[in-house]
Homo-oligomer: A and B are copies of this chain.
């Protein structure tokens, strides 16, 4: 019964950074569990999501948006490409850049994954009402896209 832990009395329990870390830890655990059957994890799911829907991001854009190092994007795209879910296309405008685009199989896999991820989100946010979820989304959006560095 974590809610009744005496540690709830500590200042840490009111520290937003700690609460965000704990919430994210739970969220990742639950979402990974929901994605497991689709051979995806949170990170590969997020890359696949951005490769779908004609957004045509470069690896550099993926790295910045997902806050992952460019070298990490390489290995995630390697996996997804190996699984036939995305392809790399050289950008005709700048031949240094590779544009990542989902294959048909990738789009299909993503359709299933969205449902799984939504179920995970639903489970992780069980304690919140629909309007609270919208409030949280709005607040986190502001924080998540605060410019940094």
Contacts and interface: CB of A to CB of B under 8 A. Distances in A.
Contacts of A36: none
Interface in A34-77: 42, 46, 49-50, 53, 55, 57, 61-62, 64-67
Contact of A12 (B1, B31, B46): B46
B17 A49 contact: no
A105 interface: no
Given A24-B21, A27-B17, A11 B114 contact: yes
B64 A146 contact: no
A67 B20 CA distance: 12
Contacts of A28: 17, 21
Contacts of A15: 49, 117, 121
B16 A49 contact: no
Q: How many copies of the polypeptide does the oligomer hold?
A: 2
A49 B146 contact: no
A32 B82 CA distance: 36
A106 to B, nearest CB: 14
Interface string A137-149: 1011111111110
Contact of A20 (B1, B18, B27, B142): B27
B61 A5 contact: yes
A13 interface: yes
A133 B5 contact: no
A125 interface: yes
